[in-house]
Amino acid sequence: MNRPFKPYPFTAKQYPASLPPLAGGVDRVRRPVVVVGGGPVGYCAALGLADHGVPVVLLEADDSVCFGSRAICISRRSLEIISRLGAADGFLRQGLPWTGGRSFYRDDEVLNFRMPMDENQKHPPMINLAQYSIEQLLLDAAEQKSDLIEIRWQNRVTAIDAREDGARLTVETPEGCYAVEADWVVAADGGRSFLREALGLKLKGASYEGRYLIVDIVLDTTRPVERLAYFDPPCNPGSTVLVHKQPEGVWRVDYQLRDGEDPDEAIKPENVMPRVESLLGMMGETGAWSPVWIGIYKANALTLDDYRHRRVLFAGDAAHLLPIFGVRGANSGIDDADNLAWKLALVVKGRASERLIDSYSAERVAAARENLSYGTKSTEFMAPPSFAFELMRKAVLGLAVKFPELRSLINPRQSSAIAYTTSPLNAGTQEAEFAGGPAPGTVLPECPLAITEGPSVRAGHLTDLIGPRITALYFAGDDAVPNELTACEASMLARDIPFAIVRVARKGNDRLLAMYDAAPGTLYLVRPDGHVFARWRRFDAGDVTRAVDHLLQT
């Protein structure tokens, strides 16, 4: 049903099929981890595992990155993750940053929202970048790590035998069929996940009837980057229309089909063009335009109950399907990959118990449920599923014209980092002694800081200091790191547990100290995915060792 038009702004490079050396039709090497699916989530999982030194085979059914129009909005949290994976430069160079948007009801502006963007932030709250570019940039980063990441194009998984200690995958390629044995499989094979089907697993939740038509157009305009939402606009009465700017002069227009409208008819260019023309007229756009893509979208709000099935770990759209409103699909999948990669790496290397993997499912299923509740609210507002919702929306929009205090009800609540406040990995600490700062389970809030390296001091950001290891963020005041903590670090490293102390000096870091409610002697322990898991005002080596052992042996 999706239709590309020429000229499409992107030409995908095509990759040949490949087969590994075989013995009796089976890949000669049993793989510690096979990732199925080369979408944003599969690439992030592979990059994260490689960062921890774990070799990965990635199987992708197609011969190129995705084609056509899919995700465009990438959140600050995703940018932080992608920075750690070494791929952010291209995202920031090519993506269009934006901080807010406006909503209109008929002719009136009813909302002008801003996402948090203060001087503490390194990255914008959101950038717009087409999914084919997102995938290409992640693929480029994966190719830089070809010593650890082997990508096999045109390798489609067609059967799985999932066992207690691993899985055997059957893979079809144009060169022939083979099998590969893996200790662990990451199922990142997207919304129609073959692996989910093959294992008989069911997504649960709601599917909405309302349909949106997506038209990408090239438009000659100097309009700024912001999210525009038009409810019941004069150009398309009764509908909701969303407009977003993408790189390369492309604009995404989403409009809701009317009840009873036939999608096959609606998607025909002769029916799409007049609607876009009248939208552009309403917006005051007079520049030349042409369509480059037309597609249909239907909102789902679904998740698996458990993302682990024996040694198969589901992530991204294979694990959950979120409505596009609030842009949580790819963003939450990237968070899944970030959560999973370090845990799987530590388990594969024998440094942690398999229970750490179970915490992946517990944390990310809870995150999906939170995302679903926001996504569902947004969907019900953007495309009311019943007459009652329609009436409620009309009332809110109508009143918002006159009563600005009601405008927060229209706020689209874009994707943001989720805290694992009830995670089993959080260690019992001295919470009562903290009046502020990130509690265990929370993502480290961003803050500029002065980093002391030997005699020199350089400016940086806190998220720059998080790496593929446990980070001990020690607020030293004017003192050195205590021997007890350095001894702890040495004993972790002797056990081959990745661990590093970051000393935060008092000088130049007043803002950070206040934000983290830190005094000299305060210690935060941070997971490789940037979530705090313990903190103390005063600690001894036993506290730190117990918290780390709890994390790894949970």
Ligand X SMILES: Cc1cc2nc3c(=O)[nH]c(=O)nc-3n(C[C@H](O)[C@H](O)[C@H](O)COP(=O)(O)OP(=O)(O)OC[C@H]3O[C@@H](n4cnc5c(N)ncnc54)[C@H](O)[C@@H]3O)c2cc1C
**Residues 330, 315: contact at Cβ < 8 Å?**
no
Least distance in Å: CB of 217 to ligand X?
15
Residue span binding ligand X (CB under 6 A) among the ranges 65-73, 354-362, 433-441, 442-450: 65-73
CB atoms within 10 A of CB 172: 16
Residue 544 found at the interface with ligand X (CB under 6 A): no
Question: Residue 292: CB partners within 8 Å, gap ≥ 6?
Answer: 4, 5, 7, 8, 9, 216, 217, 218, 250
Least distance in Å: CB of 73 to ligand X?
4
Amino acid at 439: A
Helices 387-402 and 355-382, interaxial angle, to 10°?
Answer: 70
Residue 440 found at the interface with ligand X (CB under 6 A): no
Helices 131-144 and 40-51, interaxial angle, to 10°?
Answer: 20
Residue with smaller CB distance to ligand X, 41 or 451: 41
Pick the binder of ligand X from 54, 61, 447, 485 (CB under 6 A). Answer: 61
Pick the binder of ligand X from 57, 149, 186, 324 (CB under 6 A). Answer: 324
Residue span binding ligand X (CB under 6 A) among the ranges 69-77, 226-234, 281-289, 381-389: 69-77
Structure tokens at 412: 């689209």
Residue with smaller CB distance to ligand X, 378 or 471: 378
Given the DSSP bridges, would you call strands 31-36 and 176-187 parallel, antiparallel or unpaired? parallel
Least distance in Å: CB of 331 to ligand X?
4
Q: x/- contact string, 214-243, with ligand X (CB under 6 A)?
A: x-----------------------------
- Classify residue 94 by burial, with Cβ atoms within 10 Å: 0-12, 13-18, 19+: middle
DSSP state of 117: -
Pick the binder of ligand X from 113, 289, 297, 524 (CB under 6 A). Answer: 297
- Buried residues in 349-373 as b, exposed as e (16+ CB within 10 A): eebbeeebbbbbbbbbbbbbeebbe
Phi-psi label, residue 496: left if phi above 0, alpha if psi -120 to 50, beta otherwise? left
Residue with smaller CB distance to ligand X, 25 or 428: 25
Pick the binder of ligand X from 166, 333, 412, 440 (CB under 6 A). Answer: 333
Omega within 30 of 0 (cis) for the link into 7: yes
DSSP state of 95: S
- Considering only CA atoms, which of 249, 323, 264 is closest in space to residue 294? 264
Residue 60 found at the interface with ligand X (CB under 6 A): yes
> What residue number has its CB nearest to ligand X?
39
Residue 446 found at the interface with ligand X (CB under 6 A): no
Residue 194 found at the interface with ligand X (CB under 6 A): yes
| Residues in 19-38 that interact with ligand X by CB under 6 A | 36-38
Cα–Cα distance between 523 and 164 in angstroms, integer?
A: 39
Residue with smaller CB distance to ligand X, 152 or 535: 152
Residue with smaller CB distance to ligand X, 414 or 442: 414
Structure tokens at 47: 């990059």
Cα–Cα distance between 123 and 121 in angstroms, integer?
A: 6
**Residues 66, 131: contact at Cβ < 8 Å?**
yes
Least distance in Å: CB of 381 to ligand X?
17
Residue with smaller CB distance to ligand X, 103 or 128: 128
Least distance in Å: CB of 347 to ligand X?
22
| Residues in 152-171 that interact with ligand X by CB under 6 A | 156-157
**Residues 255, 302: contact at Cβ < 8 Å?**
no
Least distance in Å: CB of 297 to ligand X?
5
Residue 189 found at the interface with ligand X (CB under 6 A): yes
Which of helix, strand or coil describes residue 166? strand
Residue span binding ligand X (CB under 6 A) among the ranges 66-74, 350-358, 366-374, 418-426: 66-74
Residue 70 found at the interface with ligand X (CB under 6 A): yes
Pick the binder of ligand X from 329, 412, 498, 528 (CB under 6 A). Answer: 329
Residues in the interface with ligand X (CB under 6 A) total: 36
Residue with tokens 């934006």: 98
Residue with tokens 């399907």: 321
Pick the binder of ligand X from 50, 56, 59, 115 (CB under 6 A). Answer: 59
Pick the binder of ligand X from 188, 283, 313, 383 (CB under 6 A). Answer: 188
The site for ligand X (CB under 6 A) is made up of: 36-42, 59-62, 69-73, 131, 156-157, 188-191, 194, 214, 297, 316-318, 324, 327-331, 333
